[in-house]
Structure formats: structure tokens, C-alpha cells
Structure 1
Amino acid sequence: MRVEFAAVQRRGRAVDLRDAAVGADAVLAAVRDPDDDRVACARPQPVHERVGFLHRELSVAPLAAVAAAARTRGATTEYDDELRAVEADLAAVEAPDVDLAAARERVAETASDVDRLRERVARASGRVEARREAGVDASDAEADLREATRELAARETDHHAATEELAAARERAREARDAHERRRELADRRDNLRRAARRALADAYADSFQRAVDALPVPGKPAHPRAFVGPDWAVGAAAARLARPGAPLVVGCGFADASRAAAALDAPVVLGEV
């Protein structure tokens, strides 16, 4: 690991930046950003999001932390195949939102136009008939009738098309509702499988977690992750020791010495001020 912040340049498995006016947040951001060359190190594994920053305000769920740590060691469960299948099904379900408002408005507009033009045709037809009965020239009235009739035919065509589009939109909306329901069902199944897998992994690595707690200078007695009583940062530290986080751990509490922290956590460590 190589660390360079302003005039500070340090290398090694254990780096202490508490005397360098470099905040732990800045170090963490650099560790997790592959394009940030202030910290040159291995890329973080997913578990790093949970336990890669150890500080007294850490909030972490014990089962999730231990399960994530176990995954870095290649642990699997009986639920994994189904979980992958459900996640693939969920990703394949497209559930677009369908807005019927525009289609309904179009139908209403064209219906109004059709009604207006039918009245115009009726009035024009009445004028033609009246002129003919009076024996006067009806050519102007007939021309107006023909124009009104052409406009009515065009708007009736538009109204028919708008009505068909509304029917199609309603069908798409029904299919979208079915797809949303399918996504909800799959999401529920995925979440249940994830919880079951976490429980299985936590059970399988419970002894390892307890040994990690026992090996660390953290408050709390060794116990199953479900039963552990102690601060979240202690859970995070034990899970971090159990894990293979890839990138360095950024530590802001619990250790006075970077070398001892790296040895206790069995990982590269950067000590920083929180």
C-alpha cells in the first residue's frame, strides 16, 4: 500500500495518518475510488462497504457482516442457485410505467371535435335544403357542406385511431401491472432467499466469528452473531478479521498502533482521525 496526501508519503501494510491532518473519510474515499491515486492498493471486496471503515459510530448488522465476510472466503449455501435464478428472472422482467392520461385526453379531444363537426354538417345541410326549397342558388352552402363533411370524416378517423390507441394503452397498462406484481413477488422471494443465505452463512461461521472476537481488543464476549452483545464497531472489527477485504481497512477507533491493528485485523490498515 502506498499513501500520498499532500506532503505525506507513506508505504507499508500498516500506515498511521493521525499525525498528518488527514481525515479518515478522505482516506476511505481514496481507498474505494480506483481512479484516486492518493492511495494505491488492492480493490475493495463488497464486504468493504460494511466493515471497511471501523469507527465508534459504525452501524452494521451482525448476520449481514459475518455473511459478507464468509462470502470473501468462498462460502456458499444451499440457497445460492435459486437465488441466482430469481435474481436473473427479476432482471429480465420489464415493468414500464404506462401513462393513460395522454391517450384519454386525445380521445376526449377528438370526440369533442367530432361532435362539433357533426353539428356543423347538420347546420350546413339545413342551409342547403333551405336554399333549394327557396329556389335560390345553393352552391356556396353546398361547398360549405362538402368542406364540413371532409373535416368530419378526417376527425372521425382521428377519433377512431385515438380510441384504438387508448385500448392498446390500457392493454399495455394491464401487462405492466402484471409485470409489477411479478417483480414484487420475485423481489420478495429474492429477499427471503438472501435472509436465509445470511442466516446459513452466519451459522456456518459462528465459531470463526467468536474466535475473531476473542482475538481482538474489543468490548463484548465471544458469542454467536445473533447473540453477540457489544458495540457495532466490535462486530465490524470481528467480521473484518474474518473477511478478506482486499483493500486496506480504515480504522478510527480501538487501536493505538497501526502495526498492531494490522496484525489483529489480519489486513492492511490505515489509522485516521474520524
Structure 2
Amino acid sequence: MICELDESVTCGRAVTLPASVDPRTVARAVRAGEATDGQTTIRVRAWRPHPVHERVGCLHPEMGLHVRTALAEAARARGLSTRFDREIRTLAEQLSSLAIEGVETEAQRRAVAAASTETERLREEVAQTRGELIARREGDAETASVAQQFRDAARDLSEAETTAAAARQNLDRRRREARAARDRLEKQLALEDDIENLRRQARAALVDRIRGAYESAVARVPGAPTPPFDPFDADAVTAALAVGRIAAFDAPVVLACDRFPSPRAASAWLGAPVIRVPSQ
């Protein structure tokens, strides 16, 4: 492990940084390779961490921990699997294939309303012009101009009816798309529920398989409460140390807690590189 703090470079399996550095920033540097704390840039070159590092890669007194979730990830870090994994992957692939997009129909509804209003107006105009044309014919009056008005109105009505029919068809199509989108959304929600249920079952199975190792590790954590007590009710630092011990870490663990006499002792107990950040 190589740890760079501005221009200072420290190498080894157990290093100590100044107390002025935020341990959470150091943990981000472990995960991303580099992070900045105010005016200070921290770089860490080491093995990239497993996802369990997000939970137990930075230990400090104010931390929280979902022990069972962390334990399940520790089991994954050790290469353990469950009978639920294949189905989870299959459902996740189905979920990723669903393209969920909202389908709006407001514009199409407005177009249908406008086309319908125009059609009704032109129908009234055609009827009125037809009546005037009939009256002129019956009275032997001149009909040429009114006949032309009638033909123009009839033509405009035909075009308006065509436009209205197209608008209704477009609205029907958009409504079908909206129904299909709602169906896909319902399927998405059902798949998400199924996946989450399977993941809960997988976590429970992993925790059961690693429970004994965790309970044994908790009993050996320096500064742990005196037995008897429920290992799953241990304080977050004690639980995180136990999870870290059994998680087969390769990436550095950031320690900002006083449980070990030295960073080297912490590294030996965890079986992982350690970056010590003393409490201020």
C-alpha cells in the first residue's frame, strides 16, 4: 500500500496519517484512488475494495452499521453464493430490458378537441349554405356564388373530417402506448418486489452460513462488551471489526478508533492493510 498526503508518501501495510485528516475522506481515497479534504489531497494505491468496504472500510465512533447486510456482503467477499443468485440475475436482466417511459396524451387530446370543434363549425356552415342554395334555386335567384361557397365549405369539411379522424387515430395510438407503458411499469414494480424478496432470502442464507464465524470474531474484538450478549446487538465499531476480520479484506481499512495498541497490531488482527487516523 502506498499512501500520499500532498507531498508526503508513506508505504507499508500499516500507516498513520495526521489526526487533522478526515477518516471518511481517506476511505473515499481507498475506493476511488484519490480524494480531497479541504486543501489536502489524499491518494491511496492499493487493492480496490469489495463492496463490503463501503460498510466496514472506515471505522469511527460515530459510525452506524446494518450488521446482517454487512455480514452478507462479507460472505460474498469470501466467495459464498446462494441458491437464489441465479434467479436474481435472471430477474435483474428482465428488469434491465424494460424501457419505462412516460407517455403523455394531453397534446393528442387537445388536437382531437380542436379538430372536432372545427368540424362542427364547418358542418353548420355547409348546412347553412346548402339551405341558402336551395332557397335561391326555388326562388329562381342567382346561385353561382352561393354554389361556390357551398362547394368550398364542403371541401373544407371533408378536409376537417379527415384531420379529425387522423387526430382520433393518433390519440387512440397514444392511449394504447400509455396502457402498454403502465403495464410495463406494473411489471417493473413486480420484478423489483420479487428481486428484493429474493435478495432478502439470499442475505438471510448468507448470514446463516457465516454466523458462527461472526460470533467467534465478536468475542475476540479488543474492547468488546463482556459476554454474555447478543453479537448482533454489539456496538457498530465492534460489529464492524468482526465483519472486517472475516471478510477477507485486500483493500486498506481506515481506523479512527482506539481498539489496538498500534496500526500494525490492527493490521495483524484484521488480516488487512490499515490506515490509522488518530482521534482528535
TM-score normalised per structure 2? 0.86
- Structure 1 position 235 matched with structure 2 position 207: no
3-state secondary structure, aligned to 1:228: helix
Once the two structures are TM-superposed, the CA of residue 199 in structure 1 deviates from its matched residue by 0.8
The AA in structure 2 aligned to 1:165 is N
The AA in structure 1 aligned to 2:214 is F
Rate the CA distance shift 1:113–1:254 in 2: closer, same or farther, 3 A: farther
CA–CA distance in structure 2, aligned partners of residues 134 and 271 of structure 1: 109
Task: Deviation per CA, 1:37-88: give whole Å up to 9, x if none.
Answer: 7221221211112222212222221111111001011101122222222222
The AA in structure 2 aligned to 1:4 is E
- Residue identity over aligned pairs, in percent, reads 36
Question: RCO (CA 8 Å, sep 6+): is it higher in 1 or 2?
Answer: 1
The AA in structure 2 aligned to 1:123 is Q
Residue matched to 2:103: 98
Residue matched to 1:207: 212
Aligned partner of 1:250 among 254, 259, 266? 254
CA contact (8 A) 1:50 1:65 kept: yes
The AA in structure 1 aligned to 2:50 is Q
The AA in structure 2 aligned to 1:77 is T
The AA in structure 2 aligned to 1:164 is Q
Residue matched to 1:9: 9
3-state secondary structure, aligned to 1:38: strand
Which is worse superposed, 78-87 or 145-154? 145-154
The AA in structure 2 aligned to 1:237 is L
Task: Deviation per CA, 1:125-162: give whole Å up to 9, x if none.
Answer: 33434444454444333333333222222221121112
Once the two structures are TM-superposed, the CA of residue 205 in structure 1 deviates from its matched residue by 0.6
CA–CA distance in structure 2, aligned partners of residues 148 and 247 of structure 1: 81
3-state secondary structure, aligned to 2:254: strand
CA–CA distance in structure 2, aligned partners of residues 237 and 107 of structure 1: 66
CA–CA distance in structure 1, aligned partners of residues 99 and 168 of structure 2: 26
Rate the CA distance shift 1:121–1:208 in 2: closer, same or farther, 3 A: same
CA–CA distance in structure 1, aligned partners of residues 170 and 132 of structure 2: 36
Once the two structures are TM-superposed, the CA of residue 222 in structure 1 deviates from its matched residue by 7.3
Aligned pairs for 1:82-161 (under 5 A) are 82-161=87-166
CA–CA distance in structure 2, aligned partners of residues 88 and 223 of structure 1: 45
CA–CA distance in structure 2, aligned partners of residues 126 and 35 of structure 1: 85
Residue matched to 2:221: 216
- Structure 1 position 27 matched with structure 2 position 26: yes
Task: Deviation per CA, 1:70-110: give whole Å up to 9, x if none.
Answer: 10111011222222222222222333322222222222121
Aligned partner of 2:72 among 67, 73, 96? 67
Rate the CA distance shift 1:227–1:213 in 2: closer, same or farther, 3 A: closer
Task: Deviation per CA, 1:222-247: give whole Å up to 9, x if none.
Answer: 799x8522212322221112113442
The AA in structure 1 aligned to 2:96 is A
TM-score normalised per structure 1? 0.88
Task: Deviation per CA, 1:200-255: give whole Å up to 9, x if none.
Answer: 1111111111222123214346799x852221232222111211344212222244
Q: Number of aligned pairs?
A: 272
3-state secondary structure, aligned to 1:22: coil
Which is worse superposed, 192-201 or 4-13? 4-13
Q: Structure 2: any 5+ residue segments left out of the alignment? A: 36-41
Rate the CA distance shift 1:176–1:245 in 2: closer, same or farther, 3 A: farther
CA–CA distance in structure 2, aligned partners of residues 223 and 53 of structure 1: 27
CA contact (8 A) 2:74 2:247 kept: yes
